[in-house]
Amino acid sequence: MNKFETAELIRQIPGVSAVVDEPMSRHTSFRIGGPADVFARPADIAGLKETLRVCRENKVPAMIMGNGTNLIVRDKGIRGVVIQLADNMSGYEVKGEEICAEAGILISALSAAALEHGLTGLEFAEGIPGTLGGAVTMNAGAYDGDMSMVVKSTEYIGDDGQIHVIDNRQHCFAKRSSVIQTCGGVVLQSVLSLKKGDRDSIKLKMDDYHSRRCEKQPLDMPSAGSIFKRPEGYFAGKLVQDCGLKGFRTGGAEVSCLHCGFIVNTGGASAQDVISLIRHIQDVVSDKYGVELQTEVKIVGEE
């Protein structure tokens, strides 16, 4: 089945839009990436489940994405169907000290909602740009917290097409990882367990985190956040800086002069520019310090 037939099948699902040859540069924070054969956006869980069923039964590869903030799409694009869960699936409800939210909501928006309701525990997520689904899947975190500290339960679709519900322990949270990531599941919604707190204190902490981010991170340029995981006993950005790579460029991709753990798109960068720069950094750091930097970002698409 070709991409046009696939798109037509998906369009027949109530509440699901689908377009052919959609440039992924429009949907990633790096502003790079070739076209997806089919780009689909379901309006609800039923539409998502049905879209995944169509792909599975027709043996069409399907990839789930959120806000595209931790993603590098190669220049040739993505074969198959990309299913976006973002503002199209972003509802939430606050009940007492818990927030139940759909996978597509920005985790920073949930942090703001927690502040509004005087709930503490999610301040660390104030500046994290991704969605709840991605944050739970990779156990996103910053400063003094991560998702393992606040997730009570998650409902997800497994690779068997069935819906599963797991509690905090069953997530098997680890550093930037969870069982959902390792099993290839798709988060539908999660319940976050927080605590009552003082709004002024919560806001003070969030404002502090915001100021620190603005001061230390190149938020005014296209990037995918921290490129590398923190290696045991080191800071990735410091290793890169100590190797003399601050400001080093490959094409339009540059090691940020503000934070060497970031690579930024200075304008017109290709995915290959970024990937080549990543490989160069890894080689130089390995040669000088014997440390093998592992990427935190996800690199996808046709090579």
Contact 33, 271 (CB under 8 A): yes
Q: What per-residue confidence (pLDDT) applies to 176?
A: 84
Catalytic-residue membership of 57:
no
Contact 222, 30 (CB under 8 A): yes
CATH topology of domain 3-87: 3.30.43
CA nearest 126: which of 195, 220, 202, 189?
A: 202
Choosing among 3.40.50.300, 3.40.50.10420, 2.60.15.10, 3.90.78.10, the CATH entry for 220-300 is 3.90.78.10
CATH class of 90-201: alpha beta
Kindly list the domain boundaries of the chain, sorted by start residue: 3-87, 90-201, 220-300
Residue 299 has pLDDT above 90, yes or no: yes
Catalytic-residue membership of 176:
yes
pLDDT digit string, tens, across residues 131-150: 999 999 999 988 889 999 99
pLDDT digit string, tens, across residues 148-163: 999 999 999 998 888 9
Contact 147, 137 (CB under 8 A): no
| Average of per-residue pLDDT across 13-42 | 97
Spot the catalytic one: 97, 123, 254, 296: 296
Contact 32, 271 (CB under 8 A): yes
Spot the catalytic one: 226, 254, 256, 270: 226
Contact 164, 144 (CB under 8 A): no
Catalytic-residue membership of 226:
yes
